[in-house]
Amino acid sequence: MKTSYALRRLLSNNYSLQCQTKRTFYRSFLRQTVPLTSVRYPNLKRGGYSALTDKDLSVFEKLIPGRVLTGSSELDGYNTDWLKTCRGSSQVVLRPKNTEEVSAILKYCNERKLAVVPQGGNTGLVGGSVPVFDEIVVSTQLMNQIISLDEISGTLVCEAGCILGNLSDHVAESNLIMPLDLGAKGSCHIGGNLATNAGGLRLLRYGSLHGSVLGLETVLASGEVVDCLSTLRKDNTGYDVKQLFIGSEGTLGLITKASILCPQKPNAVNVAFLGCDSFERVLDIFKESKMKLGEILSAFEFLDADAIAVARDNLKLSIPIDDTFPFYVLIESSGSDGTHDEEKMNGFLEDMMNRGYVIDGTVASEPAKIQYIWSVRERIAEGLMHDGYCYKYDVSIPLSHYYGLVEAVRERTQGNTTRVIGYGHVGDSNLHLNATSPEYSQTTMDLLEPFLYDWVAKHRGSISAEHGLGFKKRDFIYHSKSESAVRIMNQMKLVLDPNGILNPYKLLPTVVR
């Protein structure tokens, strides 16, 4: 177990290194290469917010002494997103330690009409967690206390700045797991996960955060603290107000604490990595896995040949089976009885081989091997960065049309991209489509958008399955949401943040129909 643990830490730390420890190294690089968002989008106008003054800074210094960052080199990492596609020009980062400090900061900013961007681990992929202009960054980095864990009910209560991986380690000691898991777990904050309604690798089994979050504490723009920090699984006393904040991307309030239901830790985990010869076979295997693995099925992922090439060529990872198949499937089972689970998995795989659905495959039950197989899947996002610029899409498409989008985009952008790859959570109808080129190209972008969003809307999909809308996708909201729904969103925004200071230029569209 110890070896595997070390390996897992090593893998997840790749993200930490890129996002945090290596920040110094990247500083000058970031400033040179990432254009300011205000320059890349010259038609975008700054809202009528106040400009930061020295007096504001001295007020902040009084509210949170020693935790007001202003040095421009210190601010680079907070101004730039992980994908290096968005850069703001904030002059100050505030690092409150508790809810009261957040409340005092927001109250002041609201009265002064200073715009604010809440920031967690800054691992978002749609430009939602960095300033667009000069918004003040309020970071949850120092709000990282675990408050309680009830072992019988499985309820964890913690502050918003806790790193997801640390929470996983903590609850594992009580034989529990976090209900979500994702590649960025080494640096993403739980508050950011909640604000973006993060999906990830375990959604198929443990459902969405709308189900597993029991309570939230949130601070509104006015500084008012909204206490919905229930730890109860059932509480039907009025509207479920906390749901509004899950997935609101910091535009309705700043989440400060959460109470989360943690499932029992499985005693046994098995992972199968399979090669097959068409996407139809991927779907056949999925349908059969639901029947045969039933309650122990915990992940069903796929990768196409071009995604596998990223792992092999850019990351130098050795592919666990022959690397020439057009499609690969990763199936995970998690259960309470290793013998039963292996019987189920072996029976299922034997059937799949006999039917010719699976051509080749490997199964792992040793933690080290399991984690290696997962790393091939989880590190694709990192591997893509080696190509230069990455055009990143995260969509839901009904399974009947799922892979058609990759083929359509590949055909349309031929000659204008290094590669177009498809991979993701088939089990949730969620496709990660990524295209790369040596550097950002407006021609390529114009080929991709709005073509891709139109295609998704035409097939009744979602233009953002789990990444959110953030800055980059907000004006495509009508491709997935009705005008009546967006009108209600705007009404909620107006009620909860009448001055619009919270994360402006994000989520809600520029023009309301």
- Show the beta-strand stretches assigned E in 108-196: 116-119, 136-139, 146-150, 155-159
State the minimum distance, in angstroms, from the CB of residue 494 to a copy of itself: 8
Nearer to a copy of itself, 135 or 217 (CB): 217
Coil, strand or helix: which one is 331? strand
At 138, phi and psi to the nearest 5? -110, 110
Site for a copy of itself in 178-197 (CB under 8 A): 196-197
The answer to whether 123 contacts a copy of itself (rule: CB under 8 A) is no
Q: Is 280 in the site for a copy of itself (CB under 8 A)?
A: no
Q: Which of residues 287-346 bind a copy of itself (CB under 8 A)?
A: 287, 290-296, 334-337, 340, 343-344
User: Can you tell me which of 237, 318, 354, 442 binds a copy of itself, judged by CB under 8 A?
Assistant: 237
Q: How far is it, in rounded angstroms, from Cα 8 to Cα 34? A: 31
Amino acid code (one letter) for 256: T
Least gap, CB of 296 to a copy of itself (angstroms): 6
Q: If binding is defined by CB under 8 A, does position 513 make contact with a copy of itself?
A: no
Beta-sheet pairing, 116-119 with 136-139: parallel
| CA 355/CA 12 separation, integer angstroms | 37
278 binds a copy of itself (CB under 8 A): no
> Using the rule CB under 8 A, is 365 a contact of a copy of itself?
no
Residue 184's closest CA among 250, 129, 102? 129
Q: Quick one: which segment of 2-10, 18-26, 147-155, 440-448 binds a copy of itself (CB under 8 A)?
A: 147-155
Instruction: Please select the residue that binds a copy of itself; options are 36, 69, 283, 408, rule is CB under 8 A.
Output: 283
Q: Which stretch binds a copy of itself (CB under 8 A): 13-21, 31-39, 75-83, 464-472?
A: 464-472
Nearest residue (CB) to a copy of itself, 95 versus 344: 344
Question: From its phi and psi, is residue 19 left (phi > 0), alpha (psi between -120 and 50) or beta?
Answer: alpha
Cβ 395 to a copy of itself shortest distance, Å: 9
Selected range binding a copy of itself among 134-142, 367-375, 434-442, 468-476, rule: CB under 8 A: 468-476
The residue from 264, 414, 443, 510 that contacts a copy of itself (CB under 8 A) is 264
- Distance CA(477)–CA(334), nearest Å, equals 36
Size of the site for a copy of itself (CB under 8 A): 91
The contact pattern for a copy of itself, residues 395-424, with x = CB under 8 A and - = no contact, is -x-xx-------------------------
User: φ, ψ for residue 187 (rounded to 5)?
Assistant: -135, -15
Q: Which of 74, 240, 446, 454 contacts a copy of itself by CB under 8 A?
A: 240
Minimum CB separation of residue 128 from a copy of itself in Å reads 10
**Site for a copy of itself (CB under 8 A): which residue of 467, 500, 503, 505?**
467
Instruction: Give kind and range of the element (H or E) at residue 104.
Output: helix 99-112
Compute the distance between CA of residue 262 and CA of residue 184 in angstroms, rounded to an integer: 19
CB of residue 300 to a copy of itself, shortest distance in Å? 12
Three-state DSSP string of 36-72? CHHHHCCCCCCCCCCCCCHHHHHHHHHHCCCCEECCH
Contact 232, 259 (CB under 8 A): no
Question: Quick one: which of 20, 243, 365, 441 contacts a copy of itself (CB under 8 A)?
Answer: 243
Residues with Cβ within 8 Å of 21's Cβ and at least 6 positions away in sequence, in order, are none
Q: Which residues contact 482 (CB under 8 A, 6 or more apart)?
A: none
**Of 159, 304, 332, 466, the one binding a copy of itself by CB under 8 A:** 466
Residue with tokens 């399955």: 465
The residue within the footprint of a copy of itself, chosen from 21, 33, 175, 414 (CB under 8 A), is 175
Q: How near is the Cβ of 416 to a copy of itself at its closest, in Å?
A: 27
What is the spatial distance between Cα 99 and Cα 192, in angstroms, rounded to a whole number? 16
Out of 1, 39, 152, 511, the residue judged to bind a copy of itself by CB under 8 A: 152
Binding mask 486-505 for a copy of itself (x = CB under 8 A): x-xx-xx--xx---------
**511 binds a copy of itself per the rule CB under 8 A:** no
C-alpha distance from residue 421 to each of 78, 384, 418 (Å): 29, 10, 10
- The continuous run of DSSP H or E covering 255 comes out as strand 254-261
Give the phi and the psi of residue 124 in degrees, each rounded to 5. Answer: -65, 160
User: How many other β-carbons are positioned within 10 Å of the β-carbon of residue 186?
Assistant: 24
* CB-based contact 162:257 (threshold 8 Å): no
419-448: contacts with a copy of itself (CB under 8 A): 425, 428-430
Closest to a copy of itself by CB, 212 vs 436, is 212
Nearer to a copy of itself, 324 or 336 (CB): 336
Q: Are strands 136-139 and 93-94 parallel, antiparallel or unpaired?
A: parallel
For residue 294, the minimal CB distance to a copy of itself (Å) is: 3
Q: Are strands 268-276 and 360-364 parallel, antiparallel or unpaired?
A: antiparallel
